[in-house]
Amino acid sequence: MEQGDKVKVYCANGKVFEADKVICTLPTFALKNIDWKPGLPENKIEALNELQYARINKHAMLFDKRFWKSENFDMVTDQLPHYFYHATQGQSGSSGVLISYSIGDKAAVIANQNDMTNFKSVQETLQPVFGDIKPYLKQQANYYWGNDQRSHGSYAIYDPGQWFRVRPILKEPFMHTHFAGEHLADWQGFMEGAIVSGEEAAGEF
C-alpha cells in the first residue's frame, strides 16, 4: 500500500490499483501483514497488536429430517458442541441444517478432531433429548476461524476499556486510507455491522 498524492495497492498477483481513496476492511491480523509505505503510525500498530479475536468453531450438519421439530430451535449445553441452532429456519423442505457453535478452548479441541469424532460428540450431546440422530445425517462440514490465514479468529473481542481507547485509533484514517469492518462497527461482531461501517467510511470522503 503506497500513499502519496494518491494511493496505490500492489497485489501479490502483480495487479496494481490506483485511487484517490481506499476503504480497508481487513481484520487486524491481515492488516498488519500489508507493506505500508509510509509505515502506519506507532499508536495504530500498537492498537492492531492489542485487539484480540475470538476462537470460534462452526460445525454444520445437514439432516434429511428436522428431528428437532421447532423451526426456531436452539440449545445451549455444557459439552464440546456448546450451542446449537437451526440454520435453515423458515426454508421449505423436510431436510434441515443444524449448526454446532463452540468458542475458546472448546473450539480449539474440536478443530483438532476429525468429522467422525466431532459428530460423535454431537450425537452424545443430543441423544438424551432426540435419541439416535445418526441415521438422519447426510453431510457435515467444519470450520475453525482460529486457523484462518487472514484473520486468526472470527470476530474481534474488546477487553474492558478498549472500546473507547483502542477502537478510535483503529478507525482513524491514515492518509488516503479509511478503515471499516466488523471490528469497527457499532453492531460489532456481525456482517451487518461491517456493511454499515463501510458506508460510514465512504461518508468520510
Residue keyed to cell 453431510: 139
Dist CA 71 CA 74 (whole Å):
9
Distances (CA, A) of 84 to 75, 130, 140, 143, 154: 5, 13, 14, 15, 18
Cis peptide before 135 (omega within 30 of 0): no
Q: Is the Cβ–Cβ distance between 188 and 155 less than 8 Å?
A: yes
Per-residue pLDDT reduced to its tens digit, 141-199: 999 998 898 899 999 999 999 999 999 999 999 999 999 999 999 999 889 999 999 99
Q: pTM of the full predicted structure?
A: 0.82
pLDDT score recorded for residue 183: 96
Under 8 Å between Cβ of 61 and 140 = yes
